[in-house]
């Protein structure tokens, strides 16, 4: 696979081909996923839960994110590497710039930040300094204690309209990508149509420009034993990790995943 760039992603959006993203935390899975055609590898702070065994993403540090980013870089075969800024790593502008720089130096091609329009100034400053940004909206796990749990966001029309406006504001600030988590499928479609940058969904229906899943979820691995509504276990049908990842890529590209049952209504 030729190296995936922002130009690549914009081209996929323009021609209507779905973008495939998958979380990844080490070199071996990076090689396997990128060779299977996964275009974006996300070093998510989800590693706090699936690798470290925490009950949320909050304990993860910038140093841990940098370590796993460097691991993924060594195994990657052309995918774009996106790394989360973990909890409170962007509490101030100075922290945002310094921590983003550390993750880019570790091997990230893009930084992902959670939040809404309040992120605009940080995104503008990062973009000016050559750091592409993915803005993560909807259910943002770092705000789980504000939300009162892992709940679908945007079901009320006022909140939905605000999310559309926030998406436009973040694009205007310089966000190169949006990620929508656990929002009604109809709202995700509205946001995807309202912005010109690619939109990736997880629990956001099939009309976004691409999809992401947590690697462990799509392989049927879970510490809790619970499977989120938006997840499909691709390992169950194939019994082989490389084939399961390839099947995920194929299903997203063919718009066979996510199906209606994987989405949420308003």
Catalytic residue among 181, 186, 207, 261: 181
Supply the range of the domain harboring residue 226.
6-262
- Tell whether 3 is in a known binding site: no
pLDDT bin (cut points 50, 70, 90) of residue 142 is confident
Q: What are phi and psi of 21, to 5 degrees?
A: -125, 145
Asked whether residue 121 carries a pLDDT value surpassing 70, the answer given is yes
Q: What is the DSSP letter of 239?
A: S
- pLDDT confidence of residue 143: 74
Of 4, 12, 3, the C-alpha closest to 199 is 12
- Domain membership flag for residue 224: yes
pLDDT bin (cut points 50, 70, 90) of residue 12 is very high
In this structure, how many other beta carbons lie within 10 angstroms of the beta carbon of residue 16? 8
Question: Has 181 been annotated as catalytic?
Answer: yes
- Domain membership flag for residue 127: yes
Any idea what the CATH number is for the domain that residue 105 is in? 3.20.20.60
Give, rounded to a whole angstrom, the gap between the first and last alpha carbons of the chain: 38
- Alpha-carbon torsion (180, 184, 187, 192), positive or negative: positive
Distance of alpha carbon 14 from alpha carbon 57, whole angstroms: 34
- Domain membership flag for residue 141: yes
Cβ(24)–Cβ(72) under 8 Å? Answer: yes
Residue whose token pair is 């892992």:
150
Indicate the SS3 state at residue 81. strand
Q: Across residues 43-72, what is the average pLDDT?
A: 97
- Domain membership flag for residue 1: no
- pLDDT confidence of residue 225: 81
Distance of alpha carbon 199 from alpha carbon 98, whole angstroms: 26
- Tell whether 63 is in a known binding site: no
- Domain membership flag for residue 151: yes
Q: Beta partners for 19? A: 210
The answer to whether the peptide bond before residue 221 is cis (omega within 30 degrees of 0) is: no
Indicate the SS3 state at residue 53. coil
Count of structural domains, the chain: 1
User: Residue 41 is inside which H or E element, if any?
Assistant: strand 40-43
- pLDDT confidence of residue 147: 63
- Tell whether 15 is in a known binding site: no
Mean pLDDT, the chain, whole residue set? 96
- pLDDT confidence of residue 203: 97
pTM assigned to the model: 0.96
Q: Which residues contact 8 (CB under 8 A, 6 or more apart)?
A: 2, 39, 80
Q: Across residues 135-159, what is the average pLDDT?
A: 84
In this structure, how many other beta carbons lie within 10 angstroms of the beta carbon of residue 230? 21
- Tell whether 73 is in a known binding site: no
Is the backbone of residue 80 left (phi > 0), alpha (psi -120 to 50) or beta?
beta
- pLDDT confidence of residue 148: 67
């Amino acid at each position: 696979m030729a190296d995936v760039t922002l130009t690549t992603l914009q081209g996929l959006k323009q021609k209507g081909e779905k973008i495939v993203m998958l979380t990844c935390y080490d070199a071996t899975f990076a090689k396997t996923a990128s060779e299977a055609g996964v275009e974006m590898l996300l070093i998510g702070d989800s590693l706090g839960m699936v690798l470290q065994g925490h009950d949320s993403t909050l304990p993860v540090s910038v140093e841990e994110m940098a370590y796993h980013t460097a691991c993924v870089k060594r195994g990657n075969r052309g995918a774009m590497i996106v790394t989360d800024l973990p909890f409170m790593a962007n509490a101030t502008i100075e922290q945002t710039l310094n921590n983003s720089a550390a993750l880019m130096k570790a091997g990230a091609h893009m930084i992902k930040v959670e939040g809404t329009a309040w992120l605009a100034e940080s995104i503008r400053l990062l973009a000016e300094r050559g750091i592409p940004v993915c803005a993560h909206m909807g259910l943002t796990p770092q705000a789980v204690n504000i939300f009162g749990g892992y709940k679908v966001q945007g079901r009320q029309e006022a909140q939905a309209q605000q999310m559309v406006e926030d998406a436009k504001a973040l694009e205007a600030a310089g966000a190169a990508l949006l990620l929508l988590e656990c929002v009604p499928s109809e709202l995700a479609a509205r946001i995807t149509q309202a912005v010109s940058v690619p939109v990736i969904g997880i629990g956001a229906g099939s009309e976004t420009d691409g999809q992401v899943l947590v690697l462990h979820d799509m392989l049927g691995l879970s510490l809790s034993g619970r499977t989120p509504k938006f997840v499909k276990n691709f390992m169950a049908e194939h019994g082989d990790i490389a084939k399961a990842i390839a099947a995920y890529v194929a299903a997203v590209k063919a718009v066979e995943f996510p199906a209606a049952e994987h989405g949420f209504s308003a």
